[in-house]
Amino acid sequence: MNEKIAIIGAGLVGSLQAIYLAKRGYDVEVYERRPDLRKAELLAGKSINLALSDRGWKALDGVGIGDEIREMAIPMNGRMMHDKDGNLTYQAYGKEGQAIYSVSRGGLNQRLMNIAEPYENIDYFFDLKCKDVNLKSNEITFQHTQTKEKTTKKFDRIFGTDGAFSAVRTRLQKTNRFNYSQFYLEHGYKELTIPANEDGSHKIDKNCLHIWPRGEFMLIALANLDGSFTCTLFFPFEGKVSFESIKTDSDVIDFFSEYFPDVMDLMPNLTEDYFENPTSSLVTVRCAPWHYSDKVVLMGDASHAIVPFYGQGMNSGFEDCTVFNQLMEKHGNNWDEIFKEFSRDRIKDGNAIADLALRNFIEMRDLTADPMFLLQKKIERKISDKHPDKWTPLYSQVTFSHEPYSEALANGERQDSIMKQVMDRHDIFDVWDSDEIENEILRLL
Ligand code: FAD
């Protein structure tokens, strides 16, 4: 009899992993606690769009579905920084032709389900919440979210792709020597919208990720296919200028007029959106190991939930699918080896991207408005253009390469210490483009 595999969570990673496993001939059942996203109106006020980049594309191309997803993606070639006076500064993300891509999270999830469901050996079950996993018998107890009826089913393998608050992980937390930590930022986020022009066109450049960096907080905007932009305000929960301090329509107007004046005209529904859309928190989850014997494994946010500031949460989850598939290639049906090696080797990369994402918050909200930072990026770009074999900017290592995140982090730290020495020169603004600076960097390398 064929192995029976349960995937808990029909999110982005669960649906992609189902396709990977089905292609290898396994019988896959995907269980989702929510109703079918394709039928229900679940997306109101939660129209998150995500930046999809090379690691994600590789995983999608790995099962031949990249092109179908490209149809729904908008390339963003660089960041557009908006200062308080409405002045714009553009910074390319990578080399000519390199881009990250804006995709709707809900739209992508639906598309993945539509691709997965026709497989004869994939079955989706909705409204069924995983309540517990019996690690001895490998049985899962589900509860129907409407009828509250409980059922139990046995599987050969269980994949926990049930997101940052994973029920599967919660079960593993009760096993011996399981490490777990969660860390909440003092900032939360709220989605706002820039609607399309009447003719359906975008109000601002759709091929940029727009950032309004303001030190302690920031606003970003990513384009949607329908001409609108989903904006996200990352803002402290508490304090003088915070979610807590904004209570009325006029507080919202005053705040936006002071800090984001150029956005005011673009958001006719600002106050409604502000009060109707939820304020959500941002958590980093780390745990180890990511498996339990050869029975249960965690992937995606369930094992490494990260803050969104490097645009790598989904990309890293998709890369889990690539890495896992390579291990299946290597070890065949030896699940014990696959799970062990996945857990042992991949955790350091999960931790590295968690660290990088936390650091990038400071870079995005603060440094993108800093002339020293912009100069540093300019120097790095010059060195990388002239000596691509010697210097790849950290952002490119993370976003446009498949180098393990842990190695990108280590390289980035080495490069940063070199750049600190160079940027410490009092005359750096005058000499940044000189041979002297270039040679100094090459010497320090
Ligand atoms: P999820 O997408 O959370 O899916 C988990 C699924 O499991 C859900 O469908 C849930 O309903 C289901 N589930 C949960 N519990 C149970 C249960 N007990 N039983 C059954 N089903 C269950 N990533 C990027 O790569 N780029 C970005 O630009 C980016 N931007 C982001 C911006 C914001 C504001 C946020 C919050 C996240 C962003 N991310 C980004 C991260 C990205 O959204 C996540 O990393 C990604 O969705 C994780 O996919 P997943 O499948 O692991 O988990």
Atom of ligand 1 nearest to the CA of 129: 19
DSSP three-state, residue 28: strand
pLDDT class of 117 with cuts at 50, 70, 90? very high
Tell me how far apart the 2 most distant CA atoms of the chain are, in Å: 73
pLDDT class of 42 with cuts at 50, 70, 90? low
* Mean pLDDT (whole number) for 321-350: 97
CA of 4 to the centre of ligand 1 (A): 24
CA of 11 to the centre of ligand 1 (A): 6
DSSP string, 282-343: EEEEEEE-SEETTTEEE-THHHH---GGGS-HHHHHHHHHHHHHHHHHHHTT-HHHHHHHHH
Question: What percent of the chain stands above pLDDT 70?
Answer: 98
- Give residue 41's pLDDT: 60
- Residues 6+ away with beta carbon under 8 Å from 56: 314, 315, 318, 319
Least confident of 76-80, 142-146, 305-309, 361-365: 361-365
CA of 76 to the centre of ligand 1 (A): 22
| Atom 41 of ligand 1, residue of closest alpha carbon | 313
Question: What percent of the chain stands above pLDDT 90?
Answer: 91
- Give residue 95's pLDDT: 87
- Residues 6+ away with beta carbon under 8 Å from 101: 51, 52, 53, 70, 73, 74, 75, 76
DSSP three-state, residue 180: strand
pTM: 0.96
| Atom 12 of ligand 1, residue of closest alpha carbon | 9
Residue 218 CA to residue 441 CA, distance in Å, equals 32
Cβ < 6 A, ligand 1 pocket: 8-14, 31-34, 48, 50-51, 105, 129-130, 161-163, 167, 189, 232, 300-302, 308, 311-315, 317
| Atom 35 of ligand 1, residue of closest alpha carbon | 308
DSSP letter for 417, please: H
Cβ neighbours around 86 below 10 Å, total: 10
Buried b (16+ CB within 10 A) or exposed e, 376-399: bbebbbbbbeeeeeebbbbbbbbb
pLDDT class of 245 with cuts at 50, 70, 90? very high
Residue 434 CA to residue 428 CA, distance in Å, equals 10
Between 146 and 94, where is the model more confident?
A: 146
